[in-house]
Chains A and B, each alone.
Chain A
Amino acid sequence: MDWITTVDHKKIAILYLWAGGLFFGIGGLEAILIRIQLIKPMNTFLDAQTFNELITMHGTTMIFLGVMPVIFALMNAVIPLQIGARDVAFPFLNSLGFWTFLFGGLLLNLSWVMGGAPDAGWTAYTPLSGKGYSATHGVDFYTIGLQIAGLGTLIGGINFLATIITMRAPGMSFMRMPMFAWATFITSAIILFAFPAVTVGLVLLTFDRILDANFFNVAGGGNPVLWQHIFWIFGHPEVYILILPAFGIISEVIPTFSRKRLFGYSSMVFATILIAFLGFMVWAHHMFTTGLGPVANALFSVSTMLIAVPTGIKIFNWLFTMWGGQVRFTTPNLFAAGFIPTFTMGGVTGVMLASAPADFQFHDTYFVVAHFHYVIVGGLVLGLFAGLHYWWPKMFGRMLSETLGKWTFWTFIIGFHLTFFVQHFLGLMGMQRRVFTYLPNQQFDTLNLVSTVGAFLMGVGMIIFLVNVFLTSRRPADAPEDPWEDGRTLEWTIPSPPPEYNFKQTPLVRGLDAFWKEKMAGHKGMTPAEPVGPIHMPSATILPFLMSVGIFIAGLGFMFSRDEFSSSIMSFLFNNYIVTALGLLITFGSMLMRSLFDDHGWHIEPEELEGR
């Protein structure tokens, strides 16, 4: 019950982590099944339909339900601490964001047991995702599930924007903010601008499928290419929503374990903003083969290549952060070290893809599959692993085992390169992506086998990580405040795990890397910016949970509103939108409750604070 009603950012972070971990596991299992099917030519392990459902769900799950929540987990766990705040700006909304994400994700995955998962690829290109060619409810689960989950992301993004703008500790100007906070800030801004696009797209596709609208139906005057534009105007910035937090994490981990401040901090900030900006300008590079014409292709080619410049700045700044430092290869830093070359490889193939005439060959082949896995797994997942190992003691008060952590790293990264490096060549040798099997004698066999073996090795790495988490959770919570000894930012100045109110007294920030600055000045902790006083805390509430349940029910009701059921009561309930109305009633009722009954929260009194 405590977990369902909590509005504490640290607990919500843990909820995000478990939920994200769960979906990540599902997505990983789907990946393993995909790789087993492709282990040899003309394999019959899966049939074509199941395979298409698996690739669709693998992509959708990993992006929306696997890595995004883990990113949100770290942001929730760390951001208020890093900027010296006691919570996020809107704790109630924070909880709402989590529950809508979870119920959206559950709805999407219900498709596996409720008659067919979505099968039109994670990009859901029309007309294949239209009712005429995807007759099960699969794509409905996709549109409505993602809509609900996306709501949570948008809420979360806005919340972080407000938090970072308004709740920084005294003295923390924007240019003294830790890089991870900067990354979160920019990421949230991208979410704010990109998610409305996919929201609209999903509404249009839902209307096409459930209400017989014609937005993407040629016969009705619609245009399928419109979907591609809407999807990628969201979809490309989404890539940066994923990778910028990883950049932020790496920018925290490397300085800590090099005992040096981040090289070129202001150019890092500038590069992050530039990447975000350019990220919105390049969506059509996913559509070079759609036939946009040479002018559009040329413009989008060049603008895409330009992203290499700020990204290059980042890579070299990280390398020169370590230059002249004292590099310690703890597990987090091992992941950060693995990140740099791996992500760079993903980055350079990105530039190759940007060259439109070459992309005519790369597009929709395993070369692209290799490229975006290098960016998303080799960049983001390695980054997340670095962040998880780094902040685990802060989140849970327990250090993860270093030995097991190193085993995780080596099995995972070797497995990763084994899986995806060879896929570059598969693509160039003519293997298109999303094929459920391939004919023999095309020289694809050996490389596919290697790729599958690699995937298993990655799975082993994941299992070692889970074992590590399990074993760690059975040990006493005895991590010190600054477990890595060289912590530079504010989260390392308070106990692990932090008390409910985070900071007894809001710290005064006197420069970049506030804690490090104090340490170098010979101080043990931060100088407080305020006297000890009562701390205002928000009350726990179940309303966000109820609201999300309501939306979940409404979504299901809407989806099945046209179905014939074997029992007439069910048909009556669904076909007359009664279930939909009931769900919306729960949601709007909860909102009404929230509006009518003022809850002023409660205070922790100074005596209690001193008592600890």
Chain B
Amino acid sequence: MMKTWQAGKRLLPMTAALGLLLAGCGREDLSVLRPQGPVAESSYGLMKLSITIMIVVLLIVFSIAAYVWIRFRRKKDQNEIPEQVEGSFKLEVLWTVIPLILVIVLAIPTVKVVFAAGNDHSDDKDAIKVKVTGHQYWWEFEYTDYGITTAQDLIIPTGKHIAFELSTKDVLHSFWVPSLAGKMDTNPDGTVNRFSFSAPNEGVYRGKCAELCGPSHGFMEFKVKSVSGEAFDKWVASMKAPESVMPEDPVLAEKFKSQCLSCHAIGSMPASPVAPSLTGIGSRESVAGILLNDDTREDGAPVLENLKTWLHDPQSVKPGNKMPNPKDKGLSDEEIDGIAEFLAGYTLD
């Protein structure tokens, strides 16, 4: 035990240097190398330790290799027969024992963190419980304690443990927010996975699906929005008591009701198992998870424009998704634009 500790101590300065170097890699809201919460932080710690050990190993191997290639390169008219060495018991034991020690150095913290990660906070009264359901190709978030369900944007209060219960309605997906925590698969009903993470700082983090789940696997993104406790409570309240909103134009309202609400839920309607809830869609971070509602960025656009893009041809945005083309449902271009305008204006305060 003493030995591992000492070895760990020696690796510490290098770990720190590496940490600084790697921290420059990637976006803060996305990169594994810039962890924004304790769970991702603990994975990152193990990564730094293992990378340090591995770089040391590589340096040793590379330098021995370079040395023998240069030093023992056959020279012109060198013809004597080198001594045929059997091996060396001492040396061979040496490179059995050293890797063994390095493995132990890595294995001990690994096992510790494995069991820490097994703590899922599902019995924690203070934790926010969220049931995550994967669908081809969107994410559903049900807050079991509050009786509300939303999609694509996971709103969480800062600092609180979020206890997840993961499953899927169709194929395997994998729930991943790189800067907050590692991923966890969503298995079909029967084998529910649990884990938890927390986000100490306010911010919007990018989440992804990490398990091949069909054509639009790469587009199955979502956002985790970490907000202050008050803002979270306000959001919950507005989700719980949604006004029964409908498009003002009665013809459009009728179309919306008959065509859209046959799959989607809105306001106080019970959550639909086949399509994302539309409650407050106008204030979400994105449309369909990938069209960013942020016109200050070059890859973003106003929410209205994104909704129009999506509604005019859902298949071209997310190939293979289950949403029928509104045109095939008998909606005219004007009606589609009207619904887009209505949805864009449908925000929660």
Check A401 for interface membership: any CB of B closer than 8 A.
Answer: no
Q: Which residue of B lies closest to A293 (CB)?
A: B118
Partner of B85 from the list A48, A261, A329, A351 (CB cut-off 8 Å) is A261
Check B117 for interface membership: any CB of A closer than 8 A.
Answer: yes
Check B213 for interface membership: any CB of A closer than 8 A.
Answer: yes
Residues of A within 8 A of B106 (CB): 305, 351, 355
Given A128-B171, A344-B61, A429:B43 Cβ within 8 A:
no
Q: Are B47 and A312 in contact (CB under 8 A)?
A: no
Cα distance A298–B77 in the bound complex, in angstroms: 56
Q: Are A363 and B210 in contact (CB under 8 A)?
A: yes
Q: Are A317 and B92 in contact (CB under 8 A)?
A: yes
Q: Are B110 and A363 in contact (CB under 8 A)?
A: no
Partner of A355 from the list B22, B50, B81, B85 (CB cut-off 8 Å) is B50
Which of these binds chain A: B94-102, B247-255, B257-265, B271-279?
B94-102
Check B5 for interface membership: any CB of A closer than 8 A.
Answer: no
Q: Are A361 and B182 in contact (CB under 8 A)?
A: yes
Q: Are A264 and B174 in contact (CB under 8 A)?
A: no
- For this complex, into which size category does the number of interface residues on chain B fall? 35 or more
Cα distance A415–B261 in the bound complex, in angstroms: 53
Given A298-B114, A326-B74, A340:B61 Cβ within 8 A:
yes
Given A49-B215, A428-B25, A327:B183 Cβ within 8 A:
no
Cα distance A434–B208 in the bound complex, in angstroms: 12
Check B348 for interface membership: any CB of A closer than 8 A.
Answer: no
**What string of 1s and 0s marks CB contacts (under 8 Å) between A344-358 and chain B?**
110011011011111
Report A566 CB to chain B, min CB distance, Å. 27
Residues of B within 8 A of A601 (CB): none
Q: Are B299 and A224 in contact (CB under 8 A)?
A: no
Partner of B107 from the list A47, A305, A315 (CB cut-off 8 Å) is A305
Given A428-B26, A430-B27, A319:B86 Cβ within 8 A:
no
Partner of B68 from the list A289, A317, A327, A352 (CB cut-off 8 Å) is A327
Residues of A within 8 A of B299 (CB): 439-441
Q: Are A430 and B215 in contact (CB under 8 A)?
A: no
Q: Are A326 and B72 in contact (CB under 8 A)?
A: yes
Given A305-B103, A325-B82, A364:B183 Cβ within 8 A:
yes
Q: Are A430 and B212 in contact (CB under 8 A)?
A: no
Which of these binds chain B: A12-20, A95-103, A119-127, A496-504?
A119-127
Check A469 for interface membership: any CB of B closer than 8 A.
Answer: no
Cα distance A302–B75 in the bound complex, in angstroms: 45
Check A473 for interface membership: any CB of B closer than 8 A.
Answer: no
**What string of 1s and 0s marks CB contacts (under 8 Å) between B183-224 and chain A?**
111011111011000000000001011111111111001000
Residues of A within 8 A of B320 (CB): 48-49
Report B51 CB to chain A, min CB distance, Å. 7
Check A527 for interface membership: any CB of B closer than 8 A.
Answer: no
Residues of A within 8 A of B210 (CB): 289, 363-365, 432-433
Report A612 CB to chain B, min CB distance, Å. 32
Cα distance A37–B110 in the bound complex, in angstroms: 37
Given A224-B187, A345-B58, A361:B43 Cβ within 8 A:
yes
Check A313 for interface membership: any CB of B closer than 8 A.
Answer: yes
Q: Are A223 and B190 in contact (CB under 8 A)?
A: yes
Q: Are B33 and A428 in contact (CB under 8 A)?
A: yes
Check A308 for interface membership: any CB of B closer than 8 A.
Answer: yes
Report B68 CB to chain A, min CB distance, Å. 4
Check A266 for interface membership: any CB of B closer than 8 A.
Answer: yes
Given A302-B111, A309-B100, A312-B95, A326:B57 Cβ within 8 A:
no
Check A225 for interface membership: any CB of B closer than 8 A.
Answer: yes
Residues of A within 8 A of B188 (CB): 127, 218, 224
Q: Are A432 and B209 in contact (CB under 8 A)?
A: yes
Q: Are B82 and A357 in contact (CB under 8 A)?
A: no
Q: Are A442 and B92 in contact (CB under 8 A)?
A: no
Q: Are A294 and B27 in contact (CB under 8 A)?
A: no
Check B11 for interface membership: any CB of A closer than 8 A.
Answer: no
Check A67 for interface membership: any CB of B closer than 8 A.
Answer: no
Q: Are A361 and B32 in contact (CB under 8 A)?
A: yes
Cα distance A199–B290 in the bound complex, in angstroms: 40
Cα distance A263–B86 in the bound complex, in angstroms: 6
Q: Which residue of A lies closest to B188 (CB)?
A: A218
**What string of 1s and 0s marks CB contacts (under 8 Å) between A405-446 and chain B?**
000000000000000000001011110111111111111000
Q: Are A442 and B27 in contact (CB under 8 A)?
A: yes
Cα distance A223–B85 in the bound complex, in angstroms: 55
Q: Which residue of A lies closest to B84 (CB)?
A: A261
Cα distance A289–B213 in the bound complex, in angstroms: 15
Q: Interface size (A, Cβ < 8 Å)? A: 89
Residues of A within 8 A of B75 (CB): 326
Main secondary structure of the interface of A (DSSP, over half): helix
Q: Are A319 and B61 in contact (CB under 8 A)?
A: yes
Given A218-B189, A428-B26, A434-B217, A301:B172 Cβ within 8 A:
no
Partner of A290 from the list B26, B88, B185, B319 (CB cut-off 8 Å) is B185
Check B78 for interface membership: any CB of A closer than 8 A.
Answer: yes
Cα distance A164–B95 in the bound complex, in angstroms: 30
Residues of B within 8 A of A340 (CB): 61, 65
**What string of 1s and 0s marks CB contacts (under 8 Å) between A298-312 and chain B?**
100110011011001
Q: Are B182 and A357 in contact (CB under 8 A)?
A: yes
Name A277-303 residues within 8 Å CB distance of B: 289-291, 293-294, 297-298, 301-302
Partner of B187 from the list A225, A306, A320, A349 (CB cut-off 8 Å) is A225
Residues of B within 8 A of A443 (CB): 26-27
Q: Are A520 and B81 in contact (CB under 8 A)?
A: yes
Report A206 CB to chain B, min CB distance, Å. 19
Partner of A264 from the list B44, B92, B213, B298 (CB cut-off 8 Å) is B92
Cα distance A344–B103 in the bound complex, in angstroms: 15
Given A357-B46, A439-B290, A432:B218 Cβ within 8 A:
yes
Name A348-389 residues within 8 Å CB distance of B: 348-349, 351-352, 354-361, 363-365
Check A328 for interface membership: any CB of B closer than 8 A.
Answer: yes
Partner of A319 from the list B68, B88, B115, B176 (CB cut-off 8 Å) is B68
Q: Are A324 and B208 in contact (CB under 8 A)?
A: no
Check B2 for interface membership: any CB of A closer than 8 A.
Answer: no
Residues of A within 8 A of B191 (CB): 223, 225, 291
Check B241 for interface membership: any CB of A closer than 8 A.
Answer: no
Cα distance A349–B54 in the bound complex, in angstroms: 8
Q: Are B84 and A260 in contact (CB under 8 A)?
A: yes
Residues of A within 8 A of B208 (CB): 430, 432
Given A48-B319, A301-B107, A323:B68 Cβ within 8 A:
yes
Partner of B215 from the list A52, A218, A306 (CB cut-off 8 Å) is A52
Q: Are A358 and B47 in contact (CB under 8 A)?
A: yes
Check A259 for interface membership: any CB of B closer than 8 A.
Answer: yes
Q: Which residue of B lies closest to A120 (CB)?
A: B212
Partner of A298 from the list B51, B74, B111, B215 (CB cut-off 8 Å) is B111
Most chain A C-beta atoms within 10 Å of own C-beta, residue among B73, B92, B181, B319? B92
Residues of B within 8 A of A301 (CB): 107, 110-111, 114
**What string of 1s and 0s marks CB contacts (under 8 Å) between A248-291 and chain B?**
00000000001111011111000000000000000000000111
Q: Are A48 and B216 in contact (CB under 8 A)?
A: yes
Residues of A within 8 A of B171 (CB): 125, 127-128, 133
Q: Are A352 and B290 in contact (CB under 8 A)?
A: no
Check B64 for interface membership: any CB of A closer than 8 A.
Answer: yes
Q: Are A309 and B111 in contact (CB under 8 A)?
A: no
Kindly list the 6 A-B residue pairs having the minimum CB-CB distance in the complex, ordered from nearest. A360-B182, A435-B218, A264-B87, A294-B118, A429-B26, A48-B215
Can you offer 14 A-B residue contacts whose CB atoms are under 8 A? A225-B191, A264-B86, A298-B111, A308-B103, A309-B99, A316-B91, A357-B116, A360-B184, A363-B210, A429-B27, A430-B178, A430-B206, A432-B176, A435-B218
A residues with CB within 8 A of B: 47-49, 52, 120-121, 125, 127-128, 133, 218, 223-225, 258-261, 263-267, 289-291, 293-294, 297-298, 301-302, 305-306, 308-309, 312-313, 315-317, 319-320, 322-329, 337, 340-341, 344-345, 348-349, 351-352, 354-361, 363-365, 425, 427-430, 432-443, 520
Q: A120-B212, A289-B210, A357-B46 are in contact. List 6 more A-B contacts (CB 8 A).
A: A313-B92, A324-B85, A326-B82, A351-B50, A352-B50, A520-B81
